[in-house]
């Protein structure tokens, strides 16, 4: 594969996943799927966090917020292993690409930049188009099927349902453990 010729980036300076090895590996492998120029730009201008990096909570430094594009990825979307032929990995790569596209295109947000809903929707479409373009280049280079918008929409729907259910289950499990702890 391409790994022999790929440039080594200091991922630990711009990718933060709370020390969870499989998450940092997934993120690194996804970023290597980007066009090389875009990856180089990201290594200098973007900071990626998975929510696992925050553990209980966190405040992002002002310097990082002022000088970098900050991308936060839910720990729920990380695939169990990075297997590019699997749907969950394909979806994960797409999400990394989509959020990166927002950064590259310098998109604004409704809450802080006061853009209209219409403008926001347009930006979402632009980010999808660029992310799908990057994905197509990567897929063709490696002999994987390209990604279709319908595939992403379906996977996103499943993930969103799962996030709500698993958040409830996790809360119940934690409450149970706290109760056990209180009985000690």
Question: Which stretch, 80-88, 126-134, 149-157, 173-181, contacts Zn ion (CB under 5 A)?
Answer: 126-134
Question: Which stretch, 4-12, 24-32, 120-128, 175-183, contacts Zn ion (CB under 5 A)?
Answer: 120-128
Phi–psi pair at 69, nearest 5 degrees: -85, 125
The token pair at 97 is 């690409």
Going from the C-alpha of 126 to that of each of 34, 101, 121, the distances in angstroms are 17, 8, 9
Closest CB 95 distance from Zn ion, rounded Å: 9
Question: Which stretch, 60-68, 119-127, 160-168, 172-180, contacts Zn ion (CB under 5 A)?
Answer: 119-127
Nearer to Zn ion, 33 or 127 (CB): 127
Closest CB 10 distance from Zn ion, rounded Å: 27
Closest CB 61 distance from Zn ion, rounded Å: 24
Whole-angstrom distance, CA of residue 40 vs CA of residue 37: 5
Q: Does residue 64 contact residue 70 with C-beta atoms inside 8 Å?
A: yes
**DSSP structural state of residue 80:** S
Nearer to Zn ion, 124 or 156 (CB): 124
Q: What angle do CA 74, 56, 76 make, to 5 degrees?
A: 20
User: How many CB atoms sit inside 10 A of residue 43's CB?
Assistant: 16
Closest CB 36 distance from Zn ion, rounded Å: 23
Nearer to Zn ion, 104 or 127 (CB): 127
What residues make contact with Zn ion under the rule CB under 5 A? 124, 127
């Amino acid at each position: 594969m391409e790994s022999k010729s790929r440039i080594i980036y200091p991922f630990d300076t711009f990718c933060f996943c709370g020390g969870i090895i499989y998450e940092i590996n997934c993120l690194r492998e996804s970023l290597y799927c980007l066009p090389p120029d875009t990856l180089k730009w990201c290594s200098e201008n973007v900071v990626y966090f998975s929510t696992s990096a925050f553990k209980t909570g966190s405040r992002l430094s002002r310097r990082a917020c002022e000088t970098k594009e900050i991308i936060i990825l839910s720990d729920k979307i990380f695939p169990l292993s990075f297997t590019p032929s699997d749907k969950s990995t394909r979806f994960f790569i797409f999400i990394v690409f989509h959020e990166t596209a927002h950064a590259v295109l310098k998109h604004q947000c409704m809450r802080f930049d006061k853009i209209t809903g219409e403008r926001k929707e347009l930006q979402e479409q632009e980010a999808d188009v660029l992310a799908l373009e990057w994905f197509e280049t990567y897929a063709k280079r490696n002999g994987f099927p390209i990604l279709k918008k319908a595939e992403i929409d379906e996977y996103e729907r499943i993930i969103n349902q799962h996030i709500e259910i698993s958040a409830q289950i996790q809360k119940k499990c934690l409450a149970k453990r706290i109760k056990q702890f209180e009985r000690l």
